């Protein structure tokens, strides 16, 4: 039974990753026989003052060497590692920063045979026993350093190989370990205790050294052959280390120089060692105690059992998760570096702006030096690199612009599609509303028209579709007018009392062919005869009339009754003689008369102060004392403005509401909702021989027609209306007279 080889490793991560970064690899071969013959792959590399891209590139290089080592078949007369290094050296790997240092040790352990190469000045030491059983020190890097320097333009310039004898130790590590432990102390630590204890000792001591450097290393130990101590072994003149050959790899690095290979043999064993054939690699696997060891996954799938395949998949997932973790780590690392960089730049900018502690000059000089270094590096780049970089930048710009253009066009096309769909939807709803109105379905027409208006309000019309949108607006307006039953009619000017200096006229009334205007601030009446086209002014013979607030004409049209501005006097106008005289009327208390109406020779007056409609009986020269007519005193008519009567009595309120009373009792009565809503009112008119109810709405400049059940029939307006305040209806001629700003207009209502 061959002696067992133990592999132990240690790793200490420094505090300053920019100063020192260590990569430590120990790869265990898979279960395939081909990879078992290849043995263990290991690497211990250190970059000092390197950049992040150098670390990433070196990591990728180590992965490439590992994969190629296990996947490249052996060739007669050449080590597999030598073949791999030929390829690596031909690719001219170089660090991006000329001030960075690379110290790297890579190799493989096949049974008890060790082969490795190095770059820079890593630690590679063999502790072997002499004939007295004492351990001696052999620095394998120092012994071959001159040859490595002669081929310094190559990444790995030579191959060193040999065997680890029983009881020997091999130590490989990063360059700065030598600054903390000299070789004698290393010998005492490594040979004086178990390998795992030595690794723990190195890790604990190096962890306590806070100098910013990272450390990593591997310890290999071949156990002594306890049962194989024979006489033949005892008569050996001297036990020598097994590293017998050093192959200078100019041929490894440069295939064109393979015929010029200059191989040197440093024999520290018997002279016939070099002539001996290479021993067969044993198939026993070393014992490893290494938390960082990675299992080499088997490549071929053929001949694997389902359990083996599942294990391979699990290992692959584990590796994927590991590299995913690395990716997340680097992502957060780069993000943290970016944030720290931004913060550092902000701090420097603050110092430069405010010259904090007089450090402005030093910072500006450091920025200038950084800019000079960058410019110098840029100039030193090969021409082909510059051309490729410019081409890459141009390609990236073109790619970004093309992608953005395509995306913008896609967004624009999608927006245009939505725009056209919305426009067509609005047009379809307008068509549907017009069709519903043609077939008399007003409710459907109103609902569809309202939907079209809502959509069009939220719609932004493009300039190219202005004509279409204007057409939609006109159609919606026409629909609105039809649904509102709003007719705009021509208004004929009958008389302009402003030309007679009779300004401030508030109301008027019609009797036969005469129109009589009055106000609450003047005792004079403006009388216009529509038959003779004459205008005159009439004043009361009694000087007590300072103005008039309400008027009424009986059905017989034989006089006009006016209530004086004092709310308690009566004036009677005779249309035949054009005279105005004082009449008799009585009120209880202090009335506030808003309107009067004469029906069957009785006068009904709206007293807002008493919240009552008073009925006055006819007497010889006027009307008697007003008596309460309303029996339903719960109704509020204090804001009433006008009365109309046809047997039932209608009270118009300032908010447009109409109350209906029969024999003093209120009746259920409501008006149909219209557009615009009726929320104000000035005049109301109806009579026994009329089937309609007319309301003047000064706020919206319209005359509205309802039937006596409250159903909406029509609303009329005129472009000449500015502030209509009073109306007189003449259904016989199908006309209405409207007082507006001192002018009387005539409109047709049929």
Q: How far apart are CA 710 and CA 298, in angstroms?
A: 94
pLDDT band at 147 (very low <50, low <70, confident <90, very high): low
| Buried residues in 661-683 as b, exposed as e (16+ CB within 10 A) | beeeebeebebeebeeebebbbb
Considering only residues 394 and 81, tell me which one the structure prediction assigns the higher pLDDT. 394
SS3 at position 442:
helix
What pLDDT was estimated at residue 698?
Answer: 94
Biggest CA–CA distance in the chain, Å, is 170
- pLDDT at residue 706 in the model: 96
List beta partners, residue 251: none
Q: Is 298 helix (H, G, I), strand (E, B) or coil?
A: coil
pLDDT at 682 (0 to 100): 94
Q: Is 440's pLDDT higher than 90?
A: no
Residue 281 confidence (pLDDT) above 50: no
Number of H helices, E strands in the chain: 14, 41
- Check residue 249 and give its pLDDT: 41
- Rounded CA-CA distance 637/653 in Å is 7
**Angle, CA of 739, 566 and 597, to the nearest 5°:** 55
Least confident window among 67-81, 245-259, 527-541: 245-259
Give the three-class secondary structure for 101.
strand
**How many Cβ atoms are within 10 Å of 606's Cβ, its own excluded?**
26
Q: How confident is the model at residue 31 (pLDDT cuts 50, 70, 90)?
A: low
Q: Residue 714: pLDDT band by 50, 70, 90 thresholds?
A: very high
Q: Please report the pLDDT score of residue 92 as a whole number.
A: 67
Is 517 within 8 Å of 500 (Cβ atoms)? no
Does residue 678 surpass a pLDDT of 90? Answer: yes
Task: Please tell me the predicted confidence (pLDDT) of residue 749.
Answer: 92
Considering only residues 78 and 276, tell me which one the structure prediction assigns the higher pLDDT.
78
pLDDT in tens, 557-581: 999 999 999 999 999 999 999 999 9
Identify the pLDDT of residue 209. Answer: 86
Question: Which residue did the predictor score with more confidence, 235 or 492?
Answer: 492
Q: Helix %, strand %, coil % for the chain, to 5?
A: 35, 30, 35
Residue 255 pLDDT exceeds 90: no
Residue 200, preceding bond cis, omega within 30 degrees?
A: no
Q: How large is the average pLDDT for residues 35-40? A: 81
Strand-pair partners of 650: 644, 660
Lowest mean pLDDT among 211-215, 527-531, 709-713: 211-215
DSSP string, 127-147: EEE-TTS-EEEEEHHHHTHHH
Distance separating alpha carbons of residues 727 and 408, to the nearest angstrom: 63
Q: What percent of the chain has pLDDT over 90?
A: 43
Lowest mean pLDDT among 154-163, 557-566, 735-744: 154-163
Predicted confidence at residue 251, as pLDDT, reads 35
Beta-carbon contacts of residue 48 (< 8 Å; ≥ 6 apart) = 19, 20, 100, 101, 102, 103, 175
At residue 282, the pLDDT reads 42
Q: How far apart are CA 481 and CA 488, in angstroms?
A: 9
Greater model confidence, 639 or 545: 639
Taking residue 580's Cβ as centre, other Cβ atoms within 10 Å add up to: 23
**Spatial distance between the Cα atoms of 632 and 663, rounded to a whole number of angstroms:** 10
Whether residue 269 is predicted with pLDDT greater than 60 in this model: the reply is no
Q: What is the CA radius of gyration of the chain?
A: 57
How high is the pLDDT of residue 227?
41
Hey, what are 604's tokens? 């009904």
Tokens of 49: 């003052």
Residue owning tokens 């500015």? 722
Please give the structure tokens belonging to residue 614.
Answer: 């008073």
In sequence order, the 6+-apart residues with CB closer than 8 A to the CB of 146 are: none
- Which stretch of 28-32, 210-214, 457-461, 534-538 has the lowest confidence by average pLDDT? 28-32
- pLDDT band for position 293 (cuts 50, 70, 90): low
Instruction: Please tell me the predicted confidence (pLDDT) of residue 693.
Output: 96
pLDDT top residue among 107 and 276: 107
CB 109 within 8 A of CB 7: yes
Average pLDDT, the chain: 83
Q: 288 pLDDT band (50/70/90 cuts)?
A: low
pLDDT at position 29, please? Answer: 81
E runs forming strands in 530-681:
534-539, 548-552, 560-564, 570-574, 579-586, 593-599, 602-607, 612-616, 618-619, 622-625, 627-628, 640-645, 649-653, 658-662, 665-667
Q: Provide mean pLDDT across the span 210-221.
A: 90
- Closest Cα partner for 167 from 128, 141, 134? 128
Mean pLDDT calculated for residue range 63-82: 81
pLDDT of residue 426: 93
- Please check whether residue 67 is in contact with residue 76, taking contact to mean a CB–CB distance below 8 angstroms: no
Is residue 258 over pLDDT 60? no
Q: Which residues contact 396 (CB under 8 A, 6 or more apart)?
A: none
Q: CB under 8 Å to 552, separation ≥6 — which residues?
A: 509, 560, 561, 596, 597, 598, 603
Which pLDDT band holds residue 685 (cuts at 50, 70, 90)? Answer: very high
Q: Taking a C-beta distance cutoff of 8 angstroms, is the pair 115, 108 a contact? A: yes
| DSSP string for 41-78 | EEEEEEEES--HHHHHHHHHHHHHHHHHHHHSPPBTTB
What DSSP state is assigned to residue 278?
A: P
Q: Are 9 and 202 in contact (CB under 8 A)?
A: no
Q: Which residue would you say has higher pLDDT here, 350 or 572?
A: 572
Residue 294 pLDDT grade (very low, low, confident, very high; cuts 50, 70, 90): low
Of how many residues is the chain composed? 750
Torsion of CA 401, 402, 408, 410, to 10 degrees: -170
CA-nearest of 535, 488, 499, 498 to 516 is 535
Most confident of 87-96, 193-202, 557-566: 557-566
β-pair type (627-628, 534-539): unpaired
Q: Which residues contact 635 (CB under 8 A, 6 or more apart)?
A: 659, 661, 666
Task: Evaluate whether 220 touches 170 at the Cβ level (below 8 Å).
Answer: yes
Higher pLDDT, 263 or 183: 183
Average pLDDT of the residues in 678-703: 94
Give the DSSP H or E segment for 363: helix 360-380
């Amino acid at each position: 039974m061959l002696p067992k080889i133990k592999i132990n490793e240690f790793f200490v991560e420094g505090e300053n990753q920019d100063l020192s970064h260590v990569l430590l690899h120990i790869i265990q071969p898979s279960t395939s026989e081909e990879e078992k013959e290849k043995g263990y792959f290991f690497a211990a590399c250190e970059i000092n003052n390197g950049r992040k891209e150098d670390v990433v590139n070196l990591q990728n290089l180590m992965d490439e060497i590992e994969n190629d080592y296990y996947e490249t078949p052996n060739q007669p007369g050449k080590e597999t590692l030598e073949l791999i290094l030929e390829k690596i050296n031909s690719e001219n790997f170089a660090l991006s920063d000329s001030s960075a240092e690379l110290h790297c040790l890579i190799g493989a352990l096949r049974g008890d045979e060790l082969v490795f190469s190095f770059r820079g000045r890593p630690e590679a030491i063999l502790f072997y026993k002499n004939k007295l059983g004492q351990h001696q020190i052999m620095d394998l890097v120092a012994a071959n350093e001159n040859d490595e320097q002669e081929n310094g333009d190559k990444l790995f310039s030579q191959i060193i190989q040999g065997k680890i004898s029983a009881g020997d130790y091999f130590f490989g590590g990063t360059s700065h370990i030598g600054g903390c432990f000299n070789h004698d102390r290393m010998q005492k630590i490594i040979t004086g205790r178990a390998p795992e204890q030595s690794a723990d000792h190195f890790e604990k001591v190096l962890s306590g050294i806070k100098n910013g450097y990272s450390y990593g290393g591997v310890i290999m130990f071949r156990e002594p052959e306890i049962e194989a101590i024979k006489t033949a072994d005892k008569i050996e003149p001297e036990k020598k280390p097994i590293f017998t050959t050093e192959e200078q790899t100019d041929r490894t690095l440069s295939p064109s120089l393979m015929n010029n290979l200059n191989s040197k043999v440093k024999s520290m064993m018997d002279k016939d060692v070099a002539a001996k054939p290479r021993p067969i690699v044993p198939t026993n696997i070393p014992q490893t105690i290494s938390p960082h060891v990675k299992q080499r996954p088997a490549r071929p799938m053929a001949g694997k059992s389902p359990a083996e395949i599942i294990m391979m998949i699990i290992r692959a997932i584990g590796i994927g998760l590991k590299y995913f973790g690395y990716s997340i780590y680097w992502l957060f690392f780069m993000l943290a570096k970016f944030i720290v960089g931004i913060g550092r730049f902000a701090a420097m900018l603050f110092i430069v702006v405010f010259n904090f502690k007089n450090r402005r000059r030093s910072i500006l000089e450091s920025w200038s030096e950084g800019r000079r270094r960058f410019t110098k590096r840029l100039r030193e780049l090969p021409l082909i690199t510059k051309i490729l970089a410019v081409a890459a930048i141009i390609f990236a710009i073109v790619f970004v612009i093309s992608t953005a253009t395509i995306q913008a066009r896609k967004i624009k096309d999608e927006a245009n599609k939505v725009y056209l769909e919305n426009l067509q939807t609005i047009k379809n709803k307008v068509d549907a509303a017009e069709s519903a109105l043609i077939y008399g379905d007003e409710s459907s027409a109103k609902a569809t028209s309202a939907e079209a208006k809502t959509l069009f309000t939220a719609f932004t019309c493009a300039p190219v579709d202005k004509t279409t949108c204007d057409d939609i607006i006109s159609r919606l307006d026409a629909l609105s007018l039809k649904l509102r039953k709003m007719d705009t009619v021509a208004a004929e000017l009958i008389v302009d009392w402003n030309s007679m200096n009779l300004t401030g006229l508030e109301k008027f009334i019609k009797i036969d062919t005469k129109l009589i205007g009055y106000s609450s601030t003047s005792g004079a009446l403006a009388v216009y005869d529509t038959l003779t086209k004459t205008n005159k002014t009439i004043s009361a013979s009694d000087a007590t009339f300072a103005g008039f607030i309400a008027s009424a004409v009986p059905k017989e049209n034989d006089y006009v009754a006016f209530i004086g501005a004092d709310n308690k006097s009566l004036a009677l106008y005779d249309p035949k003689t054009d005279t105005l005289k004082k009449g008799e009327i009585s009120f209880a208390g202090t009335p506030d008369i808003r309107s009067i109406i004469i029906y069957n020779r009785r006068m009904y007056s709206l007293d807002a102060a008493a919240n009552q409609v008073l009925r006055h009986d006819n007497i010889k020269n006027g009307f008697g004392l007003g008596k309460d007519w309303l029996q339903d005193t719960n109704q509020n008519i204090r804001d009433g403005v006008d009365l109309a009567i046809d047997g039932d009595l209608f009270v118009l309120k300032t908010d447009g509401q109409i109350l209906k009373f029969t024999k003093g009792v209120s009746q259920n009565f409501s008006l149909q909702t219209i557009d615009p809503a009726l929320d104000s009112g000035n005049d109301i008119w109806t009579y026994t021989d009329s089937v309609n109810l007319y309301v003047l709405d000064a706020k919206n400049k319209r005359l509205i027609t309802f039937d006596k059940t409250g159903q909406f029939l029509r609303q009329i307006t005129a472009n000449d209306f500015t502030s209509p305040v009073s109306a007189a209806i003449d259904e016989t001629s199908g006309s209405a007279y409207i007082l507006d700003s001192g002018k009387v207009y005539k409109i047709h209502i049929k």
